[in-house]
Homo-oligomer: A and B are copies of this chain.
Amino acid sequence: MISVQEATTIIQNHLGNFETETIPLSECVGRVLREDILADMPFPSFDRVMMDGIAINSEGWNSGVRTFPIQEMQPAGVPKVSLNNKHHCIEVMTGAVLPDHTDVVIPYEEIDIKNHEATISLASVTAWKNIHRTSSDRQMSDLLLSQNIMISPAEIATLAAVGKSEVIVLKQPKVAVISTGDELVEVNETPASHQIRKSNSYALKASLEEMKISASLIHLPDERQEVIDQLSTLTAKYDVIILSGGVSKGKKDHIPEALEMVGVEKHFHRVKQRPGKPFWFGTKGNTTIFALPGNPVATFLCFYRYVKPWLMASMKVNNTANQPMALLTADYEFTAPLTYFLQVNTSHKDGMLLATPIAGKGSGDFTNLNQADGFLELPESQSKFKAGEIYQYISFR
């Protein structure tokens, strides 16, 4: 058995390599950018009026003029007009291009308009005031977005502004989520007294969906040859295979043997952790296989602790925040020489993330997860964990 840290290192040493594709801007949020985005024009692209009011030439002001006849109006979205007389002004609207021969905008709050003349009530006027100068934010060809970032709404604004109606992004990996276990029936079936409904694979599919990855759901029966035949096909077809169940020591736990028989190289089996000890990990060519224990909480933990970080690293996402830590709010004891993943719910207080243990009824009770927000990672080197201590936190909400 290896440690949690060893398992993490091995997994991170076997990253996937996914392709790119071009998709419409409207589908980009939550996807990973795979091209550098440059400014296709300066930002702003013109001297932009920032206040509603009048534009004057500061030389006119400096010559002593305080009342400026209004020559015309320069609304936003209208080609640039030109001030013909430095003792006159042009009424301007926010977002408009600054008229030629003007260099300062005086907002309506500071002027009084009567008979088509604007009288300025200010004591002094500074050139270029209330004007967003062209190129002041970004120069033409400046790098606005580097590739390998997760696209959020803020990036959508930038992509739209530079005219990227289509964007090169990471092609999402093809993922199969495979349930195993003859005791499982479909959600819409009524289980017999020795059966239960599938739930792990639906949770995994939903977790992947939150990463914009659409997974195929597949079920394997507890029949050795059938498992081998199907895994042979599936490992050739998918980039990532996430199995749930069938990795313990039972007579029907065919998964590890079957994976090796179809040519998957095992990198580890069994990790010093609870839940999730029987976790198995391997690769075959470009296909990565996570065979997670069938205990629902173990499946869930292993996804968020190992699979999701592997996906993020394989997708080369580099603009996510670092891993948070959280402060344990109550003493906890766990004596087995294993890393324990404690179900906690969290709250924020004065900038701190607080983690409060859930009163659980055993690691298999997945309904506890509904009260929890994540797991606190309690290291195997300790058995007593005191309120006020700080540990790594893995969020699943």
- Closest B residue to A327 by beta carbon equals B351
Q: How far is the CA of A144 from the CA of B144 in the complex (A)?
A: 47
Docked-complex contact B322 and A196, CB < 8 angstroms:
no
Docked-complex contact A77 and B157, CB < 8 angstroms:
no
Which residues of the other chain, B, contact A205 by a CB distance below 8 angstroms?
A: 26, 156
Which residues of the other chain, B, contact A25 by a CB distance below 8 angstroms?
A: 187, 202
Q: How far is the CA of A181 from the CA of B75 in the complex (A)?
A: 9
Docked-complex contact B182 and A46, CB < 8 angstroms:
no
| Nearest CB on B from A305, distance (A) | 14
| Nearest CB on B from A294, distance (A) | 7
Q: How far is the CA of A79 from the CA of B193 in the complex (A)?
A: 7
A190 within 8 A of B: yes
Q: How far is the CA of A34 from the CA of B209 in the complex (A)?
A: 21
| Nearest CB on B from A356, distance (A) | 12
Contact of A325 among B159, B161, B350 (CB under 8 A): B350
Q: How far is the CA of A324 from the CA of B326 in the complex (A)?
A: 13
Find residues 7-46 in chain A having any chain B CB closer than 8 Å to their own CB: 25-26, 28-30, 41, 43-46
Find residues 181-231 in chain A having any chain B CB closer than 8 Å to their own CB: 181-184, 187-200, 202-207, 209-210, 222
Which residues of the other chain, B, contact A50 by a CB distance below 8 angstroms?
A: 364
Q: How far is the CA of A120 from the CA of B244 in the complex (A)?
A: 30
Q: Contact size class for A?
A: 35 or more
Find residues 51-84 in chain A having any chain B CB closer than 8 Å to their own CB: 51-52, 73, 75-80
- Closest B residue to A28 by beta carbon equals B206
A94 within 8 A of B: yes
Q: Mark A350-362, 1 if CB is under 8 A from B, else 0.
A: 1111000000011
Docked-complex contact B153 and A203, CB < 8 angstroms:
yes
Contact of A370 among B107, B158, B353 (CB under 8 A): B158
Contact of A163 with B188 at beta-carbon distance under 8 Å, contacts A194-B77, A370-B144 already known: yes
A248 within 8 A of B: yes
Q: Mark A98-119, 1 if CB is under 8 A from B, else 0.
A: 0000000001110000000000
A96 within 8 A of B: yes
Docked-complex contact B370 and A73, CB < 8 angstroms:
no
Contact of A396 among B136, B154, B366 (CB under 8 A): B154
Can you list 25 contacts pairing A with B, beta carbon distance less than 8 Å?
A25-B187, A26-B202, A41-B191, A44-B196, A45-B196, A51-B248, A52-B248, A75-B182, A78-B182, A80-B193, A94-B253, A95-B183, A96-B183, A137-B362, A144-B367, A145-B370, A154-B397, A156-B206, A158-B199, A158-B366, A160-B187, A161-B196, A321-B397, A351-B352, A353-B353
- Report A's interface with B, CB cutoff 8 A: 25-26, 28-30, 41, 43-46, 50-52, 73, 75-80, 91, 93-97, 107-109, 132, 136-138, 144-145, 150, 152-165, 181-184, 187-200, 202-207, 209-210, 222, 245, 248-253, 294, 296, 300, 321-327, 346-353, 361-362, 364-367, 369-370, 372-373, 390, 396-397
